[in-house]
Amino acid sequence: MAADDRIIKTEYSEVMQKSFIDYAMSVIIARALPDVRDGLKPVQRRVLYDMHELGIRYDRPYRKSARIVGDTMGKYHPHGDSSIYDALVVMAQDFKKGQVLIDGHGNFGNIEGDGQAAMRYTEARLHKITQDAFLADLDKNVVDFGPNFDETEREPSVLPCKFPNLLVNGSEGIAVGMATSIPPHNLGEVIDAVKAYMLDESISTRELMRYIKGPDFPTGGIVTNQDELLQIYETGTGKIRVRGRVEKEKGKGGRTNVVITEIPYPMIGVNIGKFLSDVAALAETKKTTDIVDISNQSSKEGIRIVIELKKDADVDHFINMLYKKTRLEDTFGVNMLAISDGRPETMGLKQIIKANVDFQYEVNRRKYETLLQKEQDRREIQEGLIKACNVIDLIIEILRGSRDRAMAKACLVEGETDGIKFKSRESAVMAGYLRFTERQADAILDMRLYKLIGLEIEALVKEHEDTLANIYRYEDILERRSSMAQVIMNDLDAMKKEFAVRRKTVIENCEEAVFEEKKAEEIELYCLVNRFGYAKVIDTVTYDRNQETVHAENPFAFKCKSTGRICLFTNTGQLYTVKVSDIPLGKLRDKGIPLDNVSSYDSTKESLLLAASQSDLNLYRLLFVTKGAMAKIVDGGEFDVTKKTVAATKLADGDELVSVSIYREQKNIILQSKEGFFLRFPVEEIPEKKKAAVGVRAMKLSDTDSVEAVYYTRNTDDSAIPYKSRNLVLNQIKPAHRDTKGTKVRG
């Protein structure tokens, strides 16, 4: 075959589309989402099944986690040891799961976010509920088995879980284009709801919620939006608001301590540290002055975060502030997405329970069909042995007279007597009427002599009676749905009696926490910005005493209010706003803070042209002049913005601002170009434009020239600037009009 014949030409986009869809479905079905029937992801199912195969039961010694992980990876899950170990660890963490499935021994992490020890140090074994509810009936053909990844082993497609584990333990996972987030629930409540559904399949979600009050997080807490839960459980999506539990305790010296004893479920892990830092930040930023001390006294016994308050603190107001300003009140996003009939589906509470009940009927049908077949096989053999005991003398005669086993079996099954030596003709005739089945004949031939003892025969008869009773019972279960329902409910009752615990999470309707920040006292200050871009604010008394020094050392010094903002205009045409409260209040000789630290201004790439109080800009207009000699006047009210960064003006490509000035009493504007041209004309010739406009041309420039500096004067002003070797009096420059070339000034 030629090489060209093996090349398949196809559209690249079609290949990419098919490949991505295949990859997405693989992640969705085989990795990230749980099955609605057993509530497990593939990696979790494989870990539990592997532990079952290794015999690591709840009543046997622990085994190293590394052994479990390695065996699982080698046989069933070739996706890396870390994902397998992480799955094992989560199933052993009682602060993440409503019902732990693995009994861990060693450091399996903690609620505060400390990670688990390496797998070579920890040990594990199955939990009793896992053995009883997930793995007990795997030998009864209750679920389908399929080949593993290299077809050297067989693994179950699903575990025969006896309760809706998807609800009890919840699940979280991110697939391609979809994610699941299901909260954990109380085992006892879920079992009661399943039984209620089995008794009345037309039951509504509202009626099911008489049994399942809502989520039951292992961390406790308080669900505050009870009225919204019905909608969430009907649609399978929504948001659950969860608060931590807060208690008040008497502290030292008549103070009150706010003690957090339960945290919201989303706060598990590093978010506890984030909560502590957020509380500390409230004190540092002066949002509250009530905090004296914060301490995390949590231990194995539970969460205990103590916040010590001042003696005269408003405790309720402080607690509301914690709810509003920290993650002590958080949201759990619900998206009950699971694999149902081989495809991802968002399911409501009733749909999940229905899927699990249908699964229970299927599992029990297969279980009792298997048990019935075994009992029927047992009955066949028992009846053969009982019949054989009644004619034992004849059978012994057949066995003694036969040359081999085949001859004896042929006589027992088909009544063939040829070649067999009998003691009498009567025995030969009777042997010809024997018609045992193949199984019965094998059992008779394998029977030991002690079975002929009277007590053994009585035991055989009793065993046969028990077998008949079992057959009757199994046939009743398989033929009558009500009988099977009773079996399922009996199993549920046993699960509830042994493993159910009291609810930890309180479900109620709480009013939204109301917290109004105390308005900061508004005082007048002066903001100083030096030539290095450092800013500070000083009080008015300090300014009044040191006015000359202030203006000599700081290009920008202006009055502002403590509750206001300052505006920073740069040569790139950007406007940055900074809260005055973000700039430190200091003494005259204090260094201050770089403007880069409190805004998006970058002093390494931009030049500061103007710093002013935003409230002052509302009273005036601003004059803009660019390097390309474009000029305009803009109403200062256009810069009354709250965004931290906005465009102050529109610039042509390659242009930049040279000057931004507040228009107060200026009469004349003087533009100085790089090539030594000066143009003086009245400011009133510059039109007022919007900030988004480019402006008008103020000066004619050659292709190589550009505006270098801008000055303003009054009519009677005699101010001068040093230019080359002399002082140039600005008002002595020949007056002209806008958009002219100006006068060449020589040194």
**What residues are paired with 223 via a beta bridge?**
242, 507
Tell me: the pLDDT tens digits for 49-65? 999 999 999 999 999 99
- For the chain, the structural domain boundaries read 18-182, 245-327, 524-744
Greater pLDDT, 515 or 632: 632
Greater pLDDT, 135 or 272: 135
- The pTM score is 0.72
Alpha-carbon distance of 140 to 134, in angstroms, equals 13
Does 121 qualify as catalytic in the annotation? yes
How many CB atoms neighbour CB 516 within 10 A?
9
Contact 576, 522 (CB under 8 A): no
- What does the pLDDT average to over 101-124? 93
How sure is the predictor about 449, in pLDDT bands with cuts at 50, 70 and 90? low
Pairing of strands 657-663, 593-594: unpaired
Tell me: the pLDDT tens digits for 512-565? 766 666 666 788 999 999 989 999 999 999 999 999 999 999 999 999 998 899
pLDDT of residue 26: 64
Token pair of 1, please? 């075959």
Alpha-carbon distance of 690 to 636, in angstroms, equals 10
User: At the topology level of CATH, where does 524-744 sit?
Assistant: Neuraminidase (2.120.10)
Alpha-carbon distance of 238 to 500, in angstroms, equals 27
The second-level CATH assignment, the architecture, of 18-182 is: Alpha-Beta Complex (3.90)
Q: 221-225, 309-313, 655-659: which has the minimum mean pLDDT?
A: 309-313
pLDDT of residue 385: 83
Contact 161, 499 (CB under 8 A): no
By C-alpha distance, which of 294, 298, 316, 320 is closest to 307?
294
- What does the pLDDT average to over 381-401? 80
- What does the pLDDT average to over 615-634? 92
Q: State the DSSP code for 302.
A: B
Determine what percent of the chain falls in helix, strand and coil, rounding each to the nearest 5: 40, 25, 35
**What residues are paired with 699 via a beta bridge?**
740
| 21 has pLDDT over 80 | no
Alpha-carbon distance of 320 to 86, in angstroms, equals 37
Cβ contacts of 439 within 8 Å, gap of 6 or more: 377, 380, 381, 384
pLDDT of residue 265: 92
- What does the pLDDT average to over 151-155? 93
Lookup result for tokens 């049908």: 365
**What residues are paired with 258 via a beta bridge?**
248, 307
Token pair of 141, please? 């053909």
Tell me: the pLDDT tens digits for 405-433? 888 888 888 878 777 777 777 777 787 77
How sure is the predictor about 631, in pLDDT bands with cuts at 50, 70 and 90? very high
N- to C-terminal Cα distance for the chain? 89
pLDDT of residue 29: 64
| 670 has pLDDT over 80 | yes
How buried is residue 503: exposed, middle or buried, by Cβ count under 10 Å (0-12/13-18/19+)? middle
Token pair of 121, please? 């140090």
pLDDT of residue 235: 95
pLDDT of residue 452: 65
Catalytic residue among 58, 76, 121, 323: 121
Greater pLDDT, 602 or 29: 602
The second-level CATH assignment, the architecture, of 245-327 is: 2-Layer Sandwich (3.30)
| 611 has pLDDT over 70 | yes
H helices of 91-204, in order, are 128-133, 165-169, 187-199
pLDDT of residue 179: 84
Task: Tell me how many degrees the CA angle 506-223-310 measures, rounded to the nearest 5.
Answer: 90
How sure is the predictor about 392, in pLDDT bands with cuts at 50, 70 and 90? confident
HEC string for 484-519: HHHHHHHHHHHHHHHHCCCCCCEECECCCCCCCCCC
Task: Note the residue count of the chain.
Answer: 747
Contact 146, 155 (CB under 8 A): yes
Residue ranges of E strands in 4-101: 63-64
Alpha-carbon distance of 273 to 327, in angstroms, equals 11
By C-alpha distance, which of 618, 624, 608 is closest to 576?
608
